[in-house]
Amino acid sequence: MTCSTNVQCRRVWHSTRSKGTQYCQQKRCKKVRYRSAGKKGQITVVACGNAIGQVIPPMVIFDAKNLNHHWTADEIPGTKYELSDKGWITSELFEGWLVEHFLEHAVSRRPLLLLLDGHSTHYQPELIRLAQNNDVIMLCLPPHTTHETLSLDCGVFGHLKTQRTSKKKTLEKL
């Protein structure tokens, strides 16, 4: 994306989510794992940044009934933590992220364009109205395409995935 001025670029935001159970020691990795009572746990990370590189602290969703403070040690300041039955995002969690996190951290000048993947949690009439009432335009792209088209998926998470794969291969050789 080419922007003529930083003013317009500040108002274009991209949110993506990633889930997984693959282990990664870096704080900002795409797929992470934690253990609770001896079992692997599912985590979803919701990340959001704008076209000039400003980022909103992530939202991390654990598949647990209670939040263990050990899971949040040394994390990014301002990270929002949530719990769900399977560690996946729900419409309710997305609405909470939109209202309590995105609107609080995004620039105040409106309108804003929020680019989203095609996940079903984004297609709720109440959420679309809520976004419209806050002068946020939600543009949902077709499912399973953002890894090829958007900067967080291509640049940030793509790079982390490449680095993780490289380190994994190195460790397998040992």
CATH number, domain with residue 169: 3.30.420
For residue 1, is it within any domain?
no
Model confidence at 21, pLDDT cuts 50, 70, 90, reads: very low
Exposure string (b/e) for 39-56, b if CB count within 10 Å is 16 or more?
Answer: eebbbbbbbbbbbeeebb
Mean per-residue pLDDT over the chain, rounded = 76
For residue 19, is it within any domain?
yes
CA–CA separation, 26 and 116 (whole Å): 25
pLDDT at 155: 58
Tokens of 30: 């795409």
| Count of structural domains, the chain | 1
CA–CA separation, 18 and 93 (whole Å): 14
Model confidence at 6, pLDDT cuts 50, 70, 90, reads: very low
In three-state secondary structure terms, 112 is strand
pLDDT of 36 over the 60 cut: no
pLDDT at 33: 44
For residue 129, is it within any domain?
yes
DSSP state letter for 98 = I
In three-state secondary structure terms, 56 is strand
pLDDT of 26 over the 60 cut: no
- Rounded to an integer, the average pLDDT of 133-155 is 74
Q: Which of 149, 114, 124 is nearest to 10 (CA)?
A: 114
The residue written with tokens 């543009």 in the block is: 139
For residue 52, is it within any domain?
yes
Element (H, E) at 97: helix 91-97
Tokens of 56: 């909103």
For residue 120, is it within any domain?
yes
pLDDT at 18: 64
pLDDT at 45: 86
Q: What is the pTM assigned to this prediction?
A: 0.72
The model's pLDDT over 97-116, given as tens digits with 9 standing for 90+, comes to 999 999 999 988 899 999 88
Residue 86's domain spans which residues?
Answer: 6-173
